[in-house]
Amino acid sequence: MKATSGGETPYQLPSDIVEFRDLAKRIVREKILPLEQQYLRHPGHAYGIRETTNLRAVFGPQIVDDLIKISRETGLWYLMVPGQYGGLGLSMLAQVVILEQFMYTAVPFPFANVPNVLYSCTGSQVDRFLKPVIEGEKFASFAQTEPNAGSDPGGMMQTRAVKDGDHWVINGTKMWISGAAESDIIMVQAVTDPEKRQRGGITMFLVDRHNPGVHIEEPGLMTWLGPKSAQYVVRFENCRVPEGDVVGEVGKGFTLGQLWLTIHDRLLRGPYALGKMQRALDMSIEWAKQRVTFGKPIAERQAIQWKLVDMFVDIQALRPMTYEIAARADTGEDVRAEAGLVKLCASEWGARCLDTAIQVHAAMGESLELPLTLFYRLLRHAQIGGGTSEIQRILIARKLLKSL
């Protein structure tokens, strides 16, 4: 394999995936990167909310509409949507490869970021919930974490749902819910059988954010994820939800939540980190070549060369790991532990890589006009959000010890 920073892999991707990858790469270089300085300087961008909302908070309608037009005309708007719902029907491997390119920049690319839980919708739920999210008319947030039930939601979840005629009544509090105030639909996990809990006693509900029993507030704690973190506390007070708004089966909601976590918050952390890591390496190489100290470029100093090599090694290890596990997910394999491995490595190696890039850039690395500090914060957060690194190690250990 030719050793460059260009992102080659030790095997040949299918030609159709390469075509989409190269298309995404061109869009990023030609259309999105020129917008990055304006985005980084603007106080309106936020972590954890939908791409179109973020874009509209920063840019005028002409720029946003142009990006949406590109997304829809190329079909990339539907990159995560199955063919049966009008999407491209791309494999998980293809999605990972394409998303890596869009994660190269801080500026979000607008597309239908559909939670896979919604593909369990049936009957009228498809038209009421799934299709509007696919078309960007509605946005869904995921509510599992509670003030005292973060790493152990199944055992410690306190939010309850009790059947009352043809409705369920939900009471409880969720915390650190990304994008809750901006969402239209909240995918809520609640205990419906305290004895069974995660083994058949937790149900997933699709709750209208404007339901009078839903109360959303900011947690009162500022985070370092950005000018706005879009993290909320959601309180359910006698929130009545029709029984027709249960997604999946009653008691099977924990399994649906784990499906969301496995793909969206763990496996997809791979491309999320890889794009940022590759950008950091490319920026560091360019900076090292042009930055002169004591009469020569810092690229000629072994201390800097080894830092670049360390970054390159992390990327080259993470990329094939992520691609392989995505391909295994495509076969229907249970990849919960493997997705945890991707998240563990992506978050820890990613934060390490960005920390190194900031060090290579020295004082310039701390500039908020470069994406490095933002990337670092997001990747450091990834060691907590979606399950801490310690939880991922527990999941992986369970699988290792099960085979003994």
Architecture of domain 268-402: Up-down Bundle (1.20)
pLDDT tens track for 1-15? 344 445 554 568 999
Mean pLDDT calculated for residue range 31-49: 91
- Tell me, what's the pLDDT at 219? 73
Nearest to 108 by CA among 226, 20, 22: 226
* pLDDT cut 90: percent of the chain above it: 83
Q: Which CATH class is domain 15-113?
A: mainly alpha
- Higher-pLDDT residue of 218 and 25 is 25
Architecture of domain 140-252: Beta Barrel (2.40)
What ranges do the domains of the chain cover? 15-113, 140-252, 268-402
Q: Is the pLDDT of residue 336 over 60?
A: yes
Measured between alpha carbons, how far is 336 from 39 in angstroms, rounded to an integer? Answer: 35
Tokens of 354: 């960005």
pLDDT tens track for 242-276? 999 999 999 999 999 888 889 998 999 999 999 99
Per DSSP, the residues of 116-158 read GGGGG--THHIIIIIHHHHTTS--EEEE--BTTBSS-HHHH--
Neighbours of 9 (CB within 10 A): 12
